Structure 1
Amino acid sequence: MMQNTFSKGVLPTIAFAFVTLFALVRLAEAVEIQRVTSPQGIEAWLVEDHTVPIIAVNFSFDGGSSQDPAGKEGLTRLLAATLDEGAGDLSSEEFQAKLEELAISIGFSTGKDRFYGSLRTLTSTLPEAGDLLALAVNTPRFDEAPIERMKTRLETRARRSETDPNAIAGRSLAAAMFGDHTYARPTLGTAVTIGALTADDLNAQHGRLLAKQGLTIGVVGAIDAKTLEPLLDKVFAGLPESGDLKAVAELTPTAGDEIAEELAVPQTTILVALPGLKRDDPDYQAAYVMNHILGGGSFTSWMYQEVREKRGLSYGANTSLSPYRHTGLLIGSAATKAERAGETVSVMLDQFRRMADEGPTDDELRRAKQFITGSYALRFDSSGKIARQLVALQNAELGIDYFDRRNSEIDAVTLEDVRRVAKRLLAEQAPTVVTVGPKQG
């Protein structure tokens, strides 16, 4: 799922290097997660690490761009861009000056289903960082000048996306597979919808999304539970108990369409997609291993070998699982010379059929599981990545012990599991195929 983060402030690079090294060591020893609850009932998951004086806080709220009202697409993205552009008594310039002066980073972003925030600070500036984050979360100003500045930035990006082949392909795929569901609406919005947004719209969306119900928080760094508790209350206890979220319907994507978008660019962009799995599906880990072999494993995957190495059709070809809260997709992608687009699509579809009909070998399964478990530490090479993982675990309801269980769950995937889920995902219907590039024939 794609997100846009508006992060301000810079922390010392050398400190992050130390955090990177330590995080990898700690993972090997098993990360110890504490469940911390503040006096006013705000819960966070904490990984304490006093090796360097840095604290990373990540958090998320229920409801993302899927909560944009019809005709106001891009509203939640604009909210992410403006929350720290002035808050409380501080104008945008004053707020940003304090972040820079104190080497504090505050950022916000959005996905389809959740709204995200982050804080990075040194322990010496934690009180000031907590104050600034509390202002941004609770009392953003939404002054006219910064709103217009951020709207202009997003409008420019939206206009560029109108001629970007990857963006065009993504929109076409979403329209074909999601229909009139809210997931089909562009998270970025359009130049027209962004241009019409107002401070009143932002205030209303802030009230709908930022609430204690559905709030998840992950904290990593040089802070103990006793110090964290008042910070949690300072930032989050003043929020309303619940927001005002509209229900989002469950969705079974529609597959089988063939869509060709004409665009005068050097190459043709290709997307091949089928309905996938949500993260809580019992088959998800088996599907994750299957996808690694099919196209997620970079140089070793079937897609890469067949499309690039054997035929030289593309610099790369891959597949990925895209789980949303209310649906999921399995997407293959590549880019190739226009005159070889049909051949490339055919080879990609052949790999889908091959996986559904034959499945991988025992050796391919063994090597895939070995790589997936061995590379897991790369997700924990900074305090910020660990904090994001803590939030992701809570959002997916995977349990506080998931770090300890995850590799054993991958190891437990059998050849029969992979073949079963391959048939489930790849054998039932034809994929949706989207091509964006020069006119053919």
Structure 2
Amino acid sequence: MKLAKAALAIALFFAPALTAGAAHAVNIERVVSPKGIVAWLVQEDAIPLIAMSFAFDGGASQDPADKPGVANLLSGLLDEGAGPLDSKAFQTALDDYSIGLSFDAGRDTFGGSMRTLVENRDEAVRLLKLALTEPRFDPEPVERIRAQILTGLKANEYDPGDVASRALMASLFPDHPYGRPSDGTPETVAAITTDDLRDYFNRIVAKDNLTIAVVGAIDAASLATLLDEVFGDLPVKANRVGIADVTPATGKVIDIPLSIPQTIIQAGGKGMKRDDPDFIAASVAAYILGGGSFSSRLYEEVREKRGLAYSVYLGLVPLDHAGAVFVGTSTRADQADAVVELIEDEIRKFAETGPTEKELADAKDYLIGSYPLRFDTSGGIADQLLAIQLAGLDIDYINQRNDLIAAVTIEDVREAAARLFTGERTIVRVGQPAS
């Protein structure tokens, strides 16, 4: 099947990009199958490729409290044998037909993607349906994928960025699923059983918590049939555990000793969920302060003027049950206190005064101009459509988004900055103590 693989590679490379803007509106169709499965479709017949992205509400937040890592382990196993096909046979079929099939566990969703040439659609549908209805969990692939995860977890024990991230999430969200490591710990992953995997699968994989986006050479009628073939026999309702909304706990400073050349600094504070009416203005504010790479306020003050760090970032993280702001950088141990103080000072000043008119204009130009880059492949478009649905946004959001950014005023950004950046953050530093 070398020709099929080459054709898929070419299709993925030349898959047409969409330009998100009023002059090039994107036509997104809402498709409902006879069995009630809903998907958003962008039909594009120029390349014989179909890209599907889908997600089930749940994710790592639905892991058992004493066994974080179940969803992550499951995500590595659904393409490792299903129905009559063991792991080798399933992987061989994917390879022979050049079908891309993968699964991923986020904090709030358990998702997957399928990429296939039109000529191999029937086989792709068959394999995806088997993965979602008859997973095998045979001993050999379970132990092989478990071993891979355990190797990564052991390595992460010495990764300062991972150490800082885990400590920060645990501190921001104590006694909440968000505070648990989404990929588990060596102890919890080692203890996961096949029954744990099946229990999670049976609780989460269902029709009522399913979101789907499809891009490619397929019309609405054909997609409706495909949706029922793949998803129509799933259980009607999921059995998820209720997750409480939570506000990040702030005000702590956590120092973790580790013998490394640089001190890793991460901080987190209260943010906004995606459905907050100020979220667009807040995203502009966050970009100006710390998301604009070489042009951000923090980069200018920390890197350009003082040379205290190579890079520094700040961004919003809107989760389903919490909103947070994260900050990160690294510096020499003897400069860590000064860097933290400088970052906190700049955040406070931005909360009080907001941006300049030039900063706002430059940010809007970049955010508007760069948006089409998110839609440079069929798979990328499908992923974006899925994210828009999961955020609860309108089906025409792609065509509205740049106008929403353009309409943000300096007063909007100042109000959002005052909401976002007033107050304390929890700070984690990993590295050698300053001598």
- The reply to whether TM is greater than 0.5 is yes
Match of 1:264 in 2: 259
SS at match of 1:60: strand
Q: Is the 8 A contact 1:11 1:104 kept in 2?
A: no
RMSD across aligned C-alpha pairs, in angstroms? 1.2
Deviations 1:135-182 (A, max 9, x none): 001110010000000000011111111111111111111111111111
Aligned to 1:433: 427
Residue 69 of structure 1, aligned match among 59, 64, 73: 64
1:123 aligned onto 2:121: no
Shift of 1:110: 0.9
Amino acid at match of 1:438: Q
- The answer to whether structure 1 residue 14 and structure 2 residue 27 are counterparts is no
DSSP 3-state at the match of 1:170? helix
Q: Does the 8 Å CA contact 1:33/1:400 hold for their aligned counterparts?
A: yes
Structure 1: any 5+ residue segments left out of the alignment? 1-8
Instruction: Report the 3-state secondary structure (helix = DSSP H, G, I; strand = E; otherwise coil) of the residue aligned with 1:82.
Output: coil
Letter of the 1:32 counterpart = N
Partner amino acid, structure 2, of 1:18: F
1:154 aligned residue: 149
> What is the CA distance between 1:197 and its match in structure 2?
0.9
1:23 and 2:17 matched: yes
Contact 1:162 1:168 (C-alpha < 8 Å) held by counterparts? yes
Q: Structure 1 residue 347: deviation in Å?
A: 1.4
- Whole-angstrom CA distance in 2 between matches of 1:131 and 1:11: 21
Correspondence 1:14-413 to 2 at 5 A: 14-19=10-15, 22-25=16-19, 29-413=24-408
How many equivalent pairs are there?
Answer: 430
Query: Partner amino acid for 2:140?
Result: A
Give the drift of 1:425: 1.4
**TM-score if structure 2 supplies the norm length?**
0.97
What's the % identity of the aligned pairs?
48
Q: Give the whole-Å Cα distance in 2 for the aligned partners of 1:240 and 1:284.
A: 35
C-alpha deviation, 1:10, in angstroms: 8.6
Q: Compute the TM-score of the two structures, normalised by the length of structure 1.
A: 0.96
Paired residue for 2:415? 420
Q: Which amino acid aligns with 1:436?
A: V
Q: Tell me how far 1:354 sits from its aligned partner.
A: 1.4
User: CA offsets, 1:90-128, max 9 Å, x none?
Assistant: 000000001001100100001111110100000000000
How much has 1:12 moved relative to structure 2?
Answer: 3.3
Q: Name 1:5's counterpart in structure 2.
A: none
CA distance in 1 between partners of 2:170 and 2:184 (Å)? 14
- Counterpart residue type for residue 434 of structure 2: Q
Q: Structure 1: how far apart are the matches of 2:95 and 2:33? A: 29
Mark the CA change 1:171 to 1:130 in structure 2 (over 3 Å): closer, same or farther.
same
Comparing 52-61 and 389-398, the one that deviates more: 389-398
The answer on whether the counterparts of 1:73 and 1:187 sit within 8 Å (CA) in structure 2 is: yes
Q: 1:88 to 1:11 in 2, by over 3 A?
A: farther
- Amino acid corresponding to residue 12 of structure 1 in structure 2: L
Q: CA deviation at 1:282?
A: 0.5
Shift of 1:25: 4.8
Alpha-carbon distance in 1 for matches of 2:341, 2:373: 34
**Equivalent position amino acid for 1:372 in 2:** L
What's the secondary structure of 1:333's corresponding residue?
Answer: strand
